[in-house]
Amino acid sequence: MPTSLSRRTVLRGLGTAIALPLFDAMQPNRLLAATGSPTAPPLRMGFFYVPNGMHMPDWTPSKEGRSYELTETLSRLSAHKDSFNVLTGLTLDGARAHGDGGGDHARSVAAFLTGAHPRKTNGADIQNGISVDQATAEAIGDQTRFSSLELGLEASSQAGNCDSGYSCAYASNMSWRGPTNPMAKENDPRAVFDRLFAGQTVQETRRAKSEREKHRKSILDFVQADAKRLHAHLPIVDRRKLDEYLYSIRDVEKRLDGAEKLGISEEGVPDYPRPLGVPRELSKHSELMMDMITLAYQTDSTRILSFMFTNAGSNRSYKEIDVNEGHHELSHHGKSAHKQAEIAKINRFHLERFEYLISRLKNIPEGNGTLLDHCMIVYGSGISDGDRHNHDDLPILLAGGGGGRIQTGRHIRYENGTPLCNLYLWMMHQMGVEAKQFGDSTGELNQLAS
């Protein structure tokens, strides 16, 4: 039995390289000579954006501290109350008009991770700022296979007029590599799966994909021999981890295959492939993408990612929850009780999708805790009340323990007007990035550690 296993060990096969989760065998000494403490798992960061603001009365708790009660919307996370903080009073000044008139939806996304005020244009002369995920990836992204992942449920656009004279590049991209370089997001779960488990060369990857499609094989079939060899040399606890991990990959593959088919009707009409492998139902689509995020974090393929539920100003209806009117139209509620109730239903639907991810991360052991314990995940919007289009007192929560750096289970109220970028600066420092300022930050956000 080996005394150690490299953190970068992968299972290999034709056109396939499956990264592994953190095993006990990857911490051979267990104790650091200097501190006597266990080797710490890596820290991850993530950013999740929902459009059109929030029905704030159903979001903001009335009390502060640990004794606060979950509101109607936040109650969707009731099983995880001890694993996140609600942060009230944070502000995104870059999303305000500053003399540019309409376009709050596009600005809210463009500024959400940058803190910058985007130039109003629907032409090629776009101008924004670098986003916190990309600034962090520049510093530490070389430690993983992918410096960052940009994901969502709708495709990105890089041109066109999407909001009162603002380019669609602003409305559909929240990750920016530089002032003129939006990072397009991937919305096809099968494409993400293929990226995570691709082989070492393009030629090998194509051969493997062709073989899998020809014989309907699982990606695991190509690494079976390597997996058996590794299994025989692992301690019993790690063997169980490996079995559970490989099972989860197989399960995701089956659901990806199911998402690509319409099924066989009672009349015996044969199924046929669906374009892109994107499920029709938003809930199924979202779950598959959350599975991809879990696998990416679990295998340390990346430590940085962003996710947009929909693009800015989305007018999608949500027939899955009996909301037949468009989201954006409903957000201009004019204090209509009916419209506000429908908005609250959409808010809860989004948070239930996020809860699925939190549950997945929380159920994966890692080090002395769980995968969620070693994450810092921001969830929220760059608009507060969709009818007012205000960008202060934002709906923001921070999930995960940050590797022991965050004291969770609280509602923390900051002075209204506190820059959201103060949170990002604090997160960057926890990730090991040396930065004196980010966006419009005025210093690190306090109270998170105590």
What are the DSSP calls for 40-103, one per residue? PPPPEEEEEE-SS---GGGTS-SS-BTTPPP-TTGGGGGGGGGGEEEEEEEE-GGGS-TT--S-
Q: State the fold for domain 44-187+285-450.
A: Alkaline Phosphatase, subunit A (3.40.720)
pLDDT digits over 142-192, tens only?
999 899 999 999 999 888 899 999 999 999 999 999 999 999 999 999 889
Q: How far apart are CA 429 and CA 437, in angstroms?
A: 10
302-319 exposure pattern, b = at least 16 Cβ within 10 A, e = fewer: bbbbbbbbbbbbbebbbe
45 contacts 427 by C-beta, under 8 angstroms = yes
Looking at residue 176, its pLDDT comes to: 97
> Which 8-state DSSP code applies to residue 118?
-
Q: How far apart are CA 411 and CA 406, in angstroms?
A: 13
- Calculate the dihedral angle through the C-alpha atoms of 312, 161, 441, 296, rounding to the nearest 10 degrees: 50
pLDDT digits over 51-84, tens only?
999 999 999 999 999 999 999 999 999 999 999 9
316 contacts 349 by C-beta, under 8 angstroms = no
Looking at residue 166, its pLDDT comes to: 96
Domain ranges (residues) in the chain: 1-39+201-263, 44-187+285-450
- Structure tokens, 25: 């065998």
DSSP string, 167-188: EHHHHH---EEETTEE-PPB--
pTM over 0.75: yes
